[in-house]
Structure formats: structure tokens, C-alpha cells
Structure 1
Amino acid sequence: MTAAITPFRVAIPQEALDDLRHRLSRNRWPEAQTVADWSQGVPLGTLRDLCAYWAAGYDWQRCEAALNALPQFTTLIDDLSIHFIHVRSSRPDALPLILTHGWPGSVLEFMKVIGPLTDPAAYGAPDAQAFHVVIPSLPGYGFSDKPRTTGWGVEKIADAWIQLMRRLGYARFVAQGGDWGAAVTTAIAMAAPPECIGVHLNMPLVFPVESDFADLTPAEAKTVERMKYYQDHDSAYAKLQGTRPQTLGYGLSDSPVGQAAWIYEKFQAWTDNRGAAEDALTRDEMLDVISLYWLTNSGASSARLYWESANAFQARQLDLPVGVSIFAEEIFRPSRRWAERIYTRLVHWNELDAGGHFAAFEQPTLFVQELRACFKLMAD
């Protein structure tokens, strides 16, 4: 029974949507910020505009229909029901691929790449590598169960993903991820199951060591500056989620405006934009993600992963083949020489001129091209 794979459809009750609109109509707003930028958080007028559209113009059923147009399933792994999208390619030479999202991400950020990855001919690339695509929701995120006990850190999730790929019958696969997905994918590579032939990361866990600071290149010096900015000005969310996720969760579970602000700020800060998140993603795309967190009440359970795996974002030596794509506005952009120190079989490295932290969501065409180029070197 535990190995059963059960078809799944999203079905958010109308009462939940009505409750969302009711809460949005009764929100108590704070006073406006005392600065003219985002340095104190999401500006009041900007968030009021987003939430007014969420209440009166946004259509969750459109997102739900898009999800339900894809094959979705659940399966029980270590007493937790894991939700996943699974789209098989018609190509006999297709390579199984597991894609892992991060926070504040979800399976939704990969929706635009499923078609090109599974059916390259339909997207103008008949000779490109094709993939069977598996996209699970992290435990505590979206439609996967929320862990009821401690222990669901990145290593256990990686083991669960390996079990999932075996359960689907894949004797050979590759893995990809950014953000928490990079940590989970790194953990898969560290476990080195015989089925996994290599991994791709769009946020490699690579950092300078003491000796690097004596001869930083200009690009590396900029990366160090970005790392310091992140620590000083952009990491409060991680500190809070990593230390007091339950306390935070009360506000995120009770206030859709609070949940929206918590995620919308990161879309603005981490996408490749000209000053507004809407330069990189549409309001509907961002509200799809925000709504998914709200409607599944995932504010606390998603934050808890930071508590479970506070030390996950550390450099780890990987001996499997590794590919890396550094998008232009990633939170930080490590150098190839730092990566070569710990990735003993670095087969693909590319630094792109566009895209940010949510690579597949923001730049699906570039993302697909990177995966094709990387995994072709591993599959041949």
C-alpha cells in the first residue's frame, strides 16, 4: 500500500476563496513607510494595489485548471503524502529529470518549461535532449503533507526523492534545483545513488575560503559585496524562519495580506527587474504562488524547513558530474574557480546575462537551453 501512486487533482473549495476575499476586504493596514523605496519592506501603496487586484480581479480557477491539465499524483513516503507532477515524454530516448523548487517557490515556477523539456520538437528543437519530468512539492509546501514530527531536512527529502524516482521505475535519472532545490539536489549528489548520473544547479552552494580574499577578481569582489549586502540587509526572513517559524506562522496563516507581503517582497528583491517585480513576472504569476501558499496554509510549514536545515547552505564536495548556470541577478554569483575546488567533475558552467533567483519562472527559454546543454554532456 505504501508504494501506491494515486492520481491527484487540485480542488480548492469555493468557501476558501470566499474567505480569502472576505479577509482581504477587512484587512487593517499599517501607516505608510517613512522612505521612498523598498528598504523598509513592501511600500504600502504597492501592496494595497496588489491586494485589491487579488480580491477583485485575480482568478485562482485559471491556475487550478492549468495544474489539473497536467498529470499530478501523490505517493506515501515515510508516512508523508508527497505531491508531484509527472509528465512523460513520448521520446524513447528521454532522460528522467527531477526538478526541485525552493522558497518562496512551488511547482508553479516550472510550468513554462515542462512542454519544451518533454516535447522539444513542438518547441522548435527536434534534435534536443528530451526529458521525462518529475516535479515534487517539498514537504510542507503546496499539496504535499506537512511534516508532523521533526527530521524532514534536506537529506531526508533527498532520500525521499531518490525513493520517488525508483518508485516511478527510473533506473537512470538527473536532478536539478535552485534555492532549497539546490540544497536537496546537492544532497542527492552526496548520497550518490547509482541511478543518478549527474545534477544541475542554478544556485550552487559555493563560497570563498580565507585564502581567496587575497586575490579576488573584480567579479569575485562584487560577489563578496553581494554576500555582505544579503547578510546585512536581506536575510532577516531566513533568520526568523530558521529560529521561530511557528511564531511567524500565526501571522502568515491568519492574514493573506501578511502572506502576500512576505512573498512579494522576495519577488521584487530577487528577480531580474528594473525596480518592480512586475518587470520579471506578471501579477497573476506572483499571485498564483502567493495563493498556493495561502490556500494550502503553508506559511508555517514551509518556513519550518529553515529550522530543520539551518546549515544546509554549505559547500559540499560532489564527485558526480555537476553543471552550473549562474543567472544575471542571482542572490550571489560565485566564481568558477571556487566551484572547481569542490565539484570534482564540473562539466558545464555558464554565466548568463538575464534572469534572477527564480530562473525557470523568469527565463524559461534560457533555463531549458541550459539544462539541455548540461545534461547532454552527461547523457552521451
Structure 2
Amino acid sequence: MNNYFRKRWQRWVNRRIPRSDVQLLNQKTIFILPTGPGVVFGFLLLIMLITGINYQNSLIYLITFLLGAILVGAMHQTHRNLSGLELTLVQPGEGGAGEEILFRFRATAGRDDAIAVVLSCEESSLPSAHIPAGQARDLVLPVPSAHRGYLRPDRIRIETRFPFGLLKAWSWVRPSAAGIVFPRPLPAPDVVSLVQDGDESSNALSVEGNDHADLRPWREGDLSQRVMWKRFARNGQMVVADWEGEAGSPHWLDFAAFPGADNELRLSYLTSLALERDRAGARFGLNLPGQVIEPDSGPAHTLRCLRALALWGEEKPRDAVAEPHGTRVRGSDRAPNRPKGVGV
């Protein structure tokens, strides 16, 4: 039953506050209720009023009505702190999976000061901020992420309890733009790219059938398909075959170079390799199913590749569907040939 009413409440709020990167807080979108101390304060006022009526004591009447007037004044002031405040999403963040993605908002106060306003999302919140009337202030909110893909918070809460903490006024901002979460980097095994320079079609070249190979001890991260299991069965030595011959260009990071690994693991390997090449200042290209980024170097090129890895196989979130941690369903294994030209 509680779940039913919660869903009804969420649908009502979503209709009342549609998705937008600019939210103006007004009478329609601001909610106000007493806090815990406010409920106790109101209960004590009721007891004082009953006591004053019972004993016909003018002093109790005076104190009761004076404190009641203070409560009413606090209610108006708490509401005015948010009334006319405009919150704009300036820049959705980018970062790695598992990190806090920074979303930059700009809060512009209306005719009244916005005093002690707090911006929060899930378990993340900012210290209270004071925005003078007619002025603007940038607020950077860290939003937790779980896995790669688009990150669009369902709701950003803005709240104030000024002046006495007896009442709280709050509203939500439901951003339309989404941040980007890069795959979590994992150390990649030693592999050979199957893409040669100038091969725009990115056809894979078979290296498994080559008779020439170098043997080396097994290292953590090596694929099981490259272990010489017959040799291991004979003498207990676990060695790995490094095939020679028709190898691709060392400038390419190739999605197809990790046979046997699932799609998400391949993307994590490629992310780690891209970061390594960026730190070394080396040229590299990225070959994904349906998308090829030519070899280049520099921070801008690395960022473009990371975005391509983050958004491979992802669909941009729609207004009707909001995933709190991105768009990828955990455990999914999309086919490599599904995405066609993912934009970055």
C-alpha cells in the first residue's frame, strides 16, 4: 500500500514539475511543511492555548499568540527564501564509473534573498548557501554514479529551513540534460590489434592460425584462450603464446582484440589502454563496432575516445524513463554489431 501511494505521489510530482534544465521556483512548485521541532512547537502552542482557556489567564494568552505570530512569520520567511529563485543546469558532469560526477548549477535569486538553501541528490549534498537578491551563484553538486552510460538524476532537491528550523520549504529540479560516465578502467592483457593502418573497414585479421609464436610465463589478466594448456598438462608450466606474423598497427585500440571477453570487460580494457596512451603522449585510434576514431593524440582526442566508450550501445534517456545511475542495465551483454555511429 505504501508503495502504491509513493508511486502516485511521484507521478503527481512529475506532472507538476516536468523535466527542464531551467527551473523557476514559484507557488506551484514550492512545498512547505513543519519539521520535527516545528511539530513539537505547534503541539506546545496547542497545550498553552488549552491551558489559557482553562484558567482564563491573560498572560498565557499573550505568550501563546505571540509565539503563534512568530510561527506564522517564520512560515512566510521560509517560503520567501525559495520564491522567485531560478536554478539552471549549466554543465552536466563527466567522469569514471563509481566516482561522483560534478553537475554545475547556477542559482539566481529573485526579489528576495535566498537564505540557507541546500542542494542535494540522494546521499550527496552541499553546504547551505546564501544568494543575495538579484544575484547569481554557481553550485557544483557531486552526483554518485554506478556504471558507464548516461547519468541523469531523477530529481535534484533544493531546500531551506531558515529562519528557525521550525518549517522546511523545498522543491525539485528534474534536469533534461545528462552527464556521461566513462567505463571503469581495468588492466588490459597483452593483445595485438587486428586493425592495420589505412584499413577503414576494420576487418579482423586472423592471427590464431599462425605457426610462429613466442612463449612467455602467464601473467594476471592474460586470456585463458592463449594459455598453452597441453604444455601445462605435461609439465605444470603455465605459459602464454604471443603470436607473430600478421599483426595490426600498434596505433589502434581494437574492440575485437579481446576474444572471449564480454562487451563491458572489453570497454574497461580499452578505457585503461586509452588512459595509458594519453599519459604517455602516444598516438592511438579507437576501433569500435559501428564507429572508428582515427589515430591522434592529446587530451581532446582522449576525451572523445572516452565518450565513445561510455556511450557505445547506449540510448539517450527519454523523459518518460529515468535511470538514476545511467542507462545500461547491469549484466546486459549487447551484441557488438548493434550500435551504428554512436555520437560523441
Query: What TM-score, normalized to structure 1?
Result: 0.20
Larger Rg: 2
RCO greater where, 1 or 2, for CA within 8 Å and sep 6 or more?
1
* Structure (1 or 2) with the greater strand fraction: 2
* Structure (1 or 2) with the greater helix fraction: 1
Query: What TM-score, normalized to structure 2?
Result: 0.21
